[in-house]
Amino acid sequence: MSAPPDLPAVVERAFEVSRRSGYVSFCRNETGRLLAMLAATRDGTMAEFGTGCGVGTAWLRSGVRGEKARIVTAELDAKLARAATEIFAEDPLVEVLAADWSTLLDRGPYSLLFLDSGQPGEVGVDAIADLVEDGGIVVLDDFTPCEQWPPITYGRVDTLREQWLTDERFTAVEVMVAPDASTIIATKR
């Protein structure tokens, strides 16, 4: 088995900024490669809710092809937003906002929306559905794989996963990106 390919330069910069900032919570490389692939299929505006230090945004940016797409991302923690801004300071296709994700409500609809499933109460289908254009994609990461239905996590029904996988406004699938991690990809009908 060969070593995985080198990371895109923008992702390497994002990891460096994260290390310097002492921030260790970011999207996994497996999810990042998925984001880059999906971003390569998109035009229009993409968004990330919860930038952290910009690793997920960097993966999205690494997949962008051409000048028709742009990325807007919001981070509530001003220190982390400043760190992410450092990565994209010279990039006209990326805008980092030091703000709550709700500031992005008026900037859609989005062709691709990336968010962390761990944002309690904020990532339900109803809160997000109108933010995505028809044919747009929502990516939620940080799920633990589950092989049963209804999905059970930590001894409880995982209602967030259940909502996304059954909502009639989306065609959705759970994809294992690693043995211990899965992601939901939902396309708006």
Chain segment 113-138, per-residue pLDDT in tens: 998 766 545 567 888 898 999 999 99
Query: What's the rounded mean pLDDT across residues 60-64?
Result: 96
Determine the Cα–Cα distance for residues 176 and 189; give it in Å rounded to an integer: 23
Q: Is the residue at 149 inside a domain?
A: yes
Q: Is the residue at 182 inside a domain?
A: yes
Structural domain span for residue 114: 26-188
- AA letter at 185: I
Q: Is the residue at 7 inside a domain?
A: no
- AA letter at 42: R
CATH of the domain at 137: 3.40.50.150
Q: Give the CA distances from residue 170 to residues 48, 130, 137, in Å, rounded to whole numbers and listed in that order.
A: 19, 11, 9
Split into its structural domains, the chain has a count of 1
Q: Is the residue at 8 inside a domain?
A: no
Q: Is the residue at 11 inside a domain?
A: no
Please check the confidence at residue 22 and state whether its pLDDT lies above 70: yes
Alpha helices in the chain (DSSP H): 9-21, 29-39, 55-63, 78-88, 125-128, 159-166
The confidence band for 175, taking pLDDT boundaries of 50, 70 and 90, is: very high
Which pTM does this prediction carry?
A: 0.90
Q: Is the residue at 98 inside a domain?
A: yes
Specify the pLDDT at position 153: 84
